[in-house]
Amino acid sequence: MNKFLGYIFSPLFYFSFFLTLIIFQPIQWLCYRLGGYKAHKISVDILNFFLTYCDFFLGSSVTFINHQSLPENRSIIFIANHQSMYDIPALIWFLRKYHVKFISKIELTRGIPSISFNLKYGGGANIDRKDSKQAVSEIIKLGRRMKEHTWSTMIFPEGTRSKDGRLKPFQVGGIATLLKVVPDALIVPVAIENSWKIVQYGSFPLSFGEQLKWTVLDPIEPAGRNAEEVTAAAENAIRTQLKQIPADLQDA
């Protein structure tokens, strides 16, 4: 039934989603040119509000749980699992007061209305995966911006999207690089559930009626821990939330 209804409602979702991107392209441009970073960020926040609730056209529920008292005067490294491109709008909207930036493929800075403009001018890191030196340099620059402006960053340390919801092992590289620049940044895991189900049949039809959920988990203080330890702690917290604890750890 999810697939059958997807054939009916996917065109409506895609129309609303891409219309929103097209409308906000000139809005972002004007905000950035006339009002600088602050005005541009407001436009991006509103854009992602509309993109998040486009999910309703697919009959999907949107649940974002954040019971944590996170500091607004301290940089945060959010660490999340990654299931689909539809993970991102809700993260930007619901965590907007933390000025969350993303590490993105440089290819995404071209050709996508609204999204490419934001990646170019929003303050994140756009990396060339074929050029490790450039990638590290961009992440270091992002860390410096975090430190200067008290911004935060979202990292998807699996390295790629999970097509079946199963968590992949976390890679430590990007987290380690950021912690070298911003060693006092708070580590905050975020567990994402069911986003992969939207695209389980591919780009068309999208699945109808999925229960999308984002949960902000307990913060991890980096003091006294190396990057490998905080990455493992974040991965284990997300695995626990997703009920994907490996058998060897369950028996421990």
pLDDT of residue 71: 94
| pLDDT given at position 160 | 83
Residue 80 main-chain phi, psi, to 5 deg: -135, 155
SS3 62: strand
Tell me which residues of the chain have a pLDDT lower than 70: 246-252
The residues, any chain, with a CB within 8 Å of residue 127's CB and separated by 6 or more, are 103, 104, 105, 106, 134, 135, 138, 139
Sequence-separated (6 or more) residues with CB below 8 Å from residue 66: 94, 95, 215, 216
Residue with tokens 């990654």: 82
As a CATH number, domain 2-244 is 3.40.1130
pTM of the model: 0.92
The answer to whether the beta carbons of residues 184 and 222 sit under 8 Å apart is yes
pLDDT at 246: 63
Q: 3-state DSSP call for residue 152?
A: strand
In this structure, the strands spanning 211-216 and 186-193 are antiparallel
Task: Give dist(CA 212, CA 195) in Å, integer.
Answer: 6
CA 29 to chain centre: 22
Strand order in the sheet with 186-193: 61-66, 211-216, 186-193, 76-80, 152-155, 100-105, 125-127
How much is the pLDDT for 251? 46
